[in-house]
Amino acid sequence: MKMRKWMMVTAVAAMATSLAACGGNNNNTNGGNAAATNAPSESTAPAENNGGENTGADTAQITPEDGASLVVWESKEERAFADAIAKEFTEKYNVPVKIEELSPTDQVTKLSQDGPSGLAADVILIPHDNLGRAASAQLLLPNDVFEQETVKNNTEASITGASYDGMLYGYPRAAETYALYYNKSIVTDVPKTFDDVLAFSKTFTDKSKNRYGIMWEVGNMYFNYPFIASNGGYIFGDNGTNKDDIGINSDGAIQGLKEYVKLKEILPINSGDINADIKRSLFNSGDVAMDINGPWELAGYKTALGDNLGLAPLPTIGGKTAISFAGFKIFGVNAYTQYPNAAKLYAEFASGKDAQLKLNELVGSIPTNLEALEDPQIKDDAYISAFAEQAKNSQPMPSIPEMGNVWSPVNAALPEIWDKGADPKTAMDKAAQQIKDLNNGASQ
């Protein structure tokens, strides 16, 4: 996330040096991956009890190895949580933990380089769509000791996200998806459908004043998945595991994308000119009334808008409930760790119920732990519960390694449709063909 910080600095500098309104530029080449920045975590009983007591009857009880010490890769944004939980872990198990900052989206790449040489962290934190890449390269130890606890205590979707090829690898600690932020002082009736959005925006949008009813990253597949999925489209068939069944050009997807095309009327900007930083500054200043975005913006938006900030599930698309992408942040244990027991204990400890609530408190995140979700701390938070509501209508991003072949073709097709008015069917057929080529060896 270093890049993002730089871009924010740049954005501020740019605004200072020019009279015109101007935001930062955050061109996200890797698609939705980068969207995964904040998330809550969940945990199970080990937070309170000794790790050994919590393991299932048929698995061995584990205790940390003698002289164990751990290195954990954490995201910069969640450092406050990481420091706190590491301290608690050390107090409980007498195992020193060193936190190193590394963007979650970079962790699998770094693990694949440094893991086998023994230089990588013992516990890593990754967005679940990177799991397939790590697990198929056998870089992670399966979550076996705590499997039963993890499965029992977490939402089904998060377990799907933390599994690869029928095996549970991850320790889910937070969910994330996106929902509709709105400015209460401008939007009085929360739109229920995208037709409502269209109607409202026609009264508000004024391109010459840079005022828009709604804005979202129209070129990024991550945020536009609802248009593909809500009417029956999908990325990979069989719940995202069949690489040969590509559904981005299915009838349902095209139907949804026709709704997407209609929205160009109220957001007549090239996709490349919209980015997270610009959107943020416009939304904060009241020039954008609605924004489709994730929990990672919550803290900043709250500061900027105060009580005027509203959050609702996404409007329906073509009469169907909007289905968003769900991402999960999960802990993984490095297969080359010297201290597998200590590492597993840490992953379990730092993703338990109490840990997830702490993460929510310190950073703001959506738990995956079932008990944590019922906790008043989450239930009474209007924003978090709105995300949790949307999360119910979300699908986990496919985590098979071929997912890496999807982002660039689709992120190229969406601008074709949006900027140049290409026919959705033609553009998506082309993207689907490219994904097929990539899956089948053009890239081997």
Q: 29 to 68, contacts with another protein by CB under 8 A?
A: 29-30, 58-60, 62
Interface residues for another protein in 207-236 (CB under 8 A)? Answer: 208, 210, 219
Provide CB contacts within 8 A for 22, sequence distance 6+.
Answer: 11, 14, 15, 278
Please select the residue that binds another protein; options are 240, 310, 409, 424, rule is CB under 8 A: 409
Residue 157 and residue 396: Cα distance in Å, rounded? 7
CA dihedral sign, ordered 411, 417, 418, 419: positive
CB of 159 to another protein, least distance (A): 18
CB of 437 to another protein, least distance (A): 5
Interface residues for another protein in 338-367 (CB under 8 A)? Answer: none
Please select the residue that binds another protein; options are 1, 7, 171, 264, rule is CB under 8 A: 7
Applying CB under 8 A, which part among 170-178, 182-190, 299-307, 409-417 lies near another protein?
409-417
286 contacts another protein (rule: CB under 8 A) = no
Specify the residue, 148 or 308, whose C-beta has the smaller distance to another protein.
148
Consecutive H or E run containing 55: none
CB of 316 to another protein, least distance (A): 28
Please select the residue that binds another protein; options are 157, 218, 228, 278, rule is CB under 8 A: 278
Around 89, how many Cα atoms within 13 Å sit in the side-chain half-sphere? 31
Interface residues for another protein in 368-407 (CB under 8 A)? Answer: 401-402, 404
415 contacts another protein (rule: CB under 8 A) = yes
Q: Total number of residues binding another protein (CB under 8 A)?
A: 71
Provide CB contacts within 8 A for 92, sequence distance 6+.
Answer: 349
Q: Which residue has the tokens 């080990």?
A: 46
CB of 67 to another protein, least distance (A): 20
Helix locations, 94-220, DSSP H:
104-114, 131-136, 147-153, 156-161, 194-204
Applying CB under 8 A, which part among 7-15, 43-51, 244-252, 366-374 lies near another protein?
7-15
Q: CA angle 409-414-417, nearest 5°?
A: 125
Q: Residue 381 is encoded by which pair of tokens?
A: 């938070």
Interface residues for another protein in 107-126 (CB under 8 A)? Answer: 109, 112, 115-117
Consecutive H or E run containing 301: helix 298-305
Specify the residue, 58 or 66, whose C-beta has the smaller distance to another protein.
58
Please select the residue that binds another protein; options are 119, 185, 192, 272, rule is CB under 8 A: 272
CB of 137 to another protein, least distance (A): 5
Interface residues for another protein in 292-321 (CB under 8 A)? Answer: none
Interface residues for another protein in 132-171 (CB under 8 A)? Answer: 132-133, 136-139, 141-142, 144-145
Residue 415 and residue 422: Cα distance in Å, rounded? 9
Specify the residue, 39 or 145, whose C-beta has the smaller distance to another protein.
145
Provide CB contacts within 8 A for 81, sequence distance 6+.
Answer: 74, 355, 358, 359, 362, 363
190 contacts another protein (rule: CB under 8 A) = no
Please select the residue that binds another protein; options are 260, 336, 339, 383, rule is CB under 8 A: 336
Q: How long, in residues, is the chain?
A: 444
Q: Where are the beta strands (DSSP E) in 305-393?
A: 309-312, 324-334
Applying CB under 8 A, which part among 158-166, 250-258, 304-312, 411-419 lies near another protein?
411-419
DSSP β-ladder status, 179-183 and 309-312: antiparallel
Q: Which residue has the tokens 């938006």?
A: 301
